[in-house]
Amino acid sequence: MPVRTTLALALLLVLTGCGSNPSDPDPGAGPSSPSSPSTPSTPSSPTSSDSAPTGGAAEDPAPVEPTEALLEWNDTGVLPDTHYVKGPQWEALSDAADTRVDLTADGEHVGLKAGSGRTISEVLMSTDWAVVVAQDKAETAPSRVVAVDLASGEQQDVVSPEAASGGSWALTAGDLYYPTYGDGGAYCLATAALADSNGEDGWCAPEGSGFSGLTASENGVGVMTFDDARPVACRTVNLLDGSGVPQPLEGPQECTAWDVAATADGAVWSEVPKPRRQEEAHFLASADGAFFDLGPGTTGTALPCGDSVFFVRDPQGPQDPARLMRWTPEHTLEVAYESRSLGNAFLGEPVCGGGVVTLTSFGEEGDEQVWASVS
């Protein structure tokens, strides 16, 4: 069975130093406080989609029991371990070696090659744009970035600001967010407006810190920042303000947060209660100043798509399936997908392409890759 590749297990974190080259932090980093935070309260009463919880205080979030509301899933028709992104009209399919991406829609086709010494590291799609990132295998040269206008099929290189090798990327509408290097080797967040080929440097991580876990939607941009404390790093989840500067969320336990995604009236985030089990998280949400306990989930899987935020929940027992959870604008928690396999099952990180979510499921009852439109 394939091994899960999550942000918790293969995190590309880059630390900055004034006048020095960035270095990678310990991938086993966790909360910097000497004691583990307490786990948020366990859901105790069911909540239906007709009766959303009112929310609680930050220190006592209201538990939310999920209801089943499976999306209409369709088979992608490609092998489950293939890099694939489905959009409303276009689809992107990488070859097995991640050396090429083919974009197709109703007889139209655009093919993009990684190039010598490079591999396809990111394929992002919105309703109007697709972005393909070709990373240098040696990680010594900047990434090559190509944006495709899906209305015309025209291609353009994103060359300024110059993209760092690897790191975290996000695309919403025609705005691309990605890492770049600033003065003195600072690790910075770049923004490119693809429609007018306008890119600019933004906020730079302070000395001895970095960022990762970018998410973006019409509701905002989320990012996890971290320091270089040892033996464990302190992590903070943020939303960018109007000037592009990360602002910490109200609600998360200090130094324990990981995932973050903006919603129309708040945010969804995860916290890691046990530093040595970073794949195991607890998800929470805020909405209009109230707070909600969404229960267990998997780090690195928060995904804004359509009007909702999704995250993966591994089987909680030997007879449980793996699930894709959905936090809706109505402040309800839904089960959007369940694996056929029970117990020994897991889901890959979901991806979103212009309101279409693609998901890969692995388990003893068979693997599958499926997609569904999000209302």
For the stretch 2-41, pLDDT in tens is: 434 333 333 333 344 333 333 333 333 333 333 333 333 3
Task: Identify which has the larger pLDDT, 222 or 26.
Answer: 222
- The C-alpha atoms of residue 258 and residue 303 are separated, in whole angstroms, by 13
pLDDT in tens, 280-294: 999 999 999 999 999
pLDDT in tens, 34-86: 333 333 333 333 444 455 678 999 999 999 999 999 999 999 999 998 999 99
> Of the candidates 351, 359, 374, 334, which has an alpha carbon nearest to the alpha carbon of residue 80?
359
Residue with tokens 């890119």: 199
CB-neighbour burial class of residue 37 (10 A; exposed 0-12, middle 13-18, buried 19+)? middle
Residue with tokens 């690195």: 300
Residue with tokens 């890959």: 348
Residue pair 266/287 in contact by the 8 Å Cβ criterion = yes
Task: Identify which has the larger pLDDT, 32 or 207.
Answer: 207
Residue pair 206/196 in contact by the 8 Å Cβ criterion = no
Q: Say how far residue 111 (Cα) sits from the centre of its chain.
A: 25
- The C-alpha atoms of residue 208 and residue 226 are separated, in whole angstroms, by 9
Residue pair 43/293 in contact by the 8 Å Cβ criterion = yes
pLDDT number for residue 51: 59
Q: How many other β-carbons are positioned within 10 Å of the β-carbon of residue 119?
A: 15
pLDDT in tens, 230-241: 878 899 999 999
Mean pLDDT for all residues in the chain: 88
Mean pLDDT of the 326-336 span: 97
pLDDT in tens, 246-268: 999 999 999 999 999 999 999 99
Measured CA angle at 263 (ends 187, 147), to 5 deg? 50
Hey, where are the domains in the chain? 15-29+51-62+82-297
> Of the candidates 62, 141, 148, which has an alpha carbon nearest to the alpha carbon of residue 103?
148
**How is domain 15-29+51-62+82-297 classified at the architecture level of CATH?**
7 Propeller (2.130)
The DSSP output letter for 56 is: B
Residue pair 67/334 in contact by the 8 Å Cβ criterion = yes
pLDDT number for residue 231: 78
- The C-alpha atoms of residue 110 and residue 176 are separated, in whole angstroms, by 20
> Of the candidates 69, 78, 155, which has an alpha carbon nearest to the alpha carbon of residue 110?
155
SS3 196: helix
Q: Is the pLDDT of residue 95 over 60?
A: yes
